[in-house]
Amino acid sequence: MDEIAYMYHAIQLARKGCGWVNPNPMVGAVIVKDGKIIGQGYHKKYGELHAERNALENCQTPAIGATLYVTLEPCCHHGRTPPCTEAIIESGISRVVVGSYDPNPLVAGKGIGILRSHGIEVMENVVRDECDKLNKSFFHYIQNRTPYVVMKYAMTMDGKIATHTGRSQWITGSTARQRVHEDRHRYSAIMVGVGTILEDDPMLNCRLENGRNPLRIICDTSLRTPLQAKVVTTTDTASTLIATAMTDTNRHQPYLDAGCEIMVIPQKDNHIDLNSLMQRLGEKQIDSLLLEGGGTLNWSALQSCIVNKVQAYVAPKLFGGSGKTPVEGLGVDHPERAFLLSKPIITQIDEDILLESEVIWC
Ligand code: AOF
Ligand code: ZN
């Protein structure tokens, strides 16, 4: 195996932490000596050992003189775990090959600097693009302290998310829907507007075997969520947070009794202020959020500039008529004022297509 292959192996290991490590990054590590892998590991769960320490613990022979391949710059700070740089230095590893740089202000190049100052050879940026792809949401969260927001919707080829009678199940096929559940596992929270609760009464959970349920967030300015809604009656299986502008604690009580959390957020233009909400969610360590509509909330989210990425599933169907579209609201008045997205990554998923773009201008 060559250097690149070892790093790809470390990336595979890192992916095993998907959905379990948030708000930490996914990290994988491989230790190689005399052309043989002597230890490997990954960051398994938030609060637990980092990838490098897991790899060192798994070493079958002493790591003196070995090379460590790690997808992210080793940390050098005391967090929930001691610094990885200390463990690397103590182990006698003589060379470290790094994929991504860690933008955490507590690390940010200092990890690499410490290793070098101890005479360890460090090679940077190896398979960096692939390593960076693992942790888009972590990079955003650690620098902004707000969640990385992905606006996701499924529409027909004539741009409808529902028929004129309001029916939306199902637009895409089962494989595309499975993919959505993988994202519900990956991201820390899922958010919808109260309109979606009133119309569809969704569960908003992750229906993968061994999947993790995201925190369900309902944007509900005037507290209209029915107490019989599934998101309210199933808090024993998945947590629900209702973000509202209603300050009357008597109105909060029935939701609190049902096990929901209430977050009071100031109002802006008759809706809760989404920028304040994102700040508060960041304080709760929500690093990533899947925005699943509806169109009114999507419009507010774009106007508030909180959307980082758009995921549009497109199904080969046409609904016609006055069915809803993914982004409602007033809309822009001129093509020049459009929200601009990056060149999409296109993935065919059976009969459907997934288009993924970063928001580059809002
Ligand atoms: C690494 N290897 O596997 C991970 C790193 O609170 P802690 O102790 O878990 O530290 C979290 C921070 O450490 C996180 O924000 C990121 O900068 C880094 N994560 N670093 O060397 C790992 N998960
Ligand atoms: Zn570490």
Centre of ligand 1 to C-alpha 120, Å, is 20
What is the CB neighbour count within 10 angstroms for residue 320? 10
Q: Cα(312)–Cα(333) distance, rounded to whole angstroms? A: 22
Cβ contacts of 188 within 8 Å, gap of 6 or more: 22, 23, 147, 214, 215, 285, 286, 287, 288, 289
Q: Cα(247)–Cα(1) distance, rounded to whole angstroms? A: 61
Q: Cα(329)–Cα(303) distance, rounded to whole angstroms? A: 10
Q: Cα(87)–Cα(66) distance, rounded to whole angstroms? A: 13
Mutate to test the pocket of ligand 1, among 27, 43, 75, 89 (most ligand atoms within 8 A of CB): 75
From first to last of the 362 residues of the chain, give the pLDDT tens digit: 799 999 999 999 999 999 999 999 999 999 999 999 999 999 999 999 999 999 999 998 999 999 999 999 999 999 999 999 999 999 999 999 999 999 999 999 999 999 999 999 999 999 999 999 999 999 999 999 999 999 999 999 999 999 999 999 899 999 999 999 999 999 999 999 999 999 999 999 999 999 999 999 999 999 999 999 999 999 999 999 999 999 999 999 999 999 999 999 999 988 999 999 999 999 999 999 999 988 999 999 999 999 999 999 999 999 999 999 999 999 999 999 999 999 999 999 999 999 999 999 77
The response to whether residue 55 sits with its C-beta less than 6 Å from ligand 1 reads no
The response to whether residue 14 sits with its C-beta less than 6 Å from ligand 1 reads no
Centre of ligand 1 to C-alpha 198, Å, is 40
Closest CA to ligand 1's atom 3: 50
- pTM of the entire predicted model: 0.94
The response to whether residue 51 sits with its C-beta less than 6 Å from ligand 1 reads yes
Centre of ligand 2 to C-alpha 54, Å, is 10
What is the CB neighbour count within 10 angstroms for residue 228? 9
What is the CB neighbour count within 10 angstroms for residue 231? 26
Per-residue b or e along 185-214, where b marks 16 or more CB atoms closer than 10 Å to that residue's CB: bbbbbbbbbbbbbebbebebbbeeeeebbb
Q: Cα(279)–Cα(284) distance, rounded to whole angstroms? A: 9
Closest CA to ligand 1's atom 17: 104
- What ipTM did this prediction achieve? 0.94
What is the CB neighbour count within 10 angstroms for residue 339? 15
Mutate to test the pocket of ligand 1, among 50, 104, 112 (most ligand atoms within 8 A of CB): 50
Catalytic site includes residue 52 = yes
Ligand nearest to the CA of 72: 1
Q: Is the dihedral of CA 185, 361, 244, 24 positive or negative?
A: positive
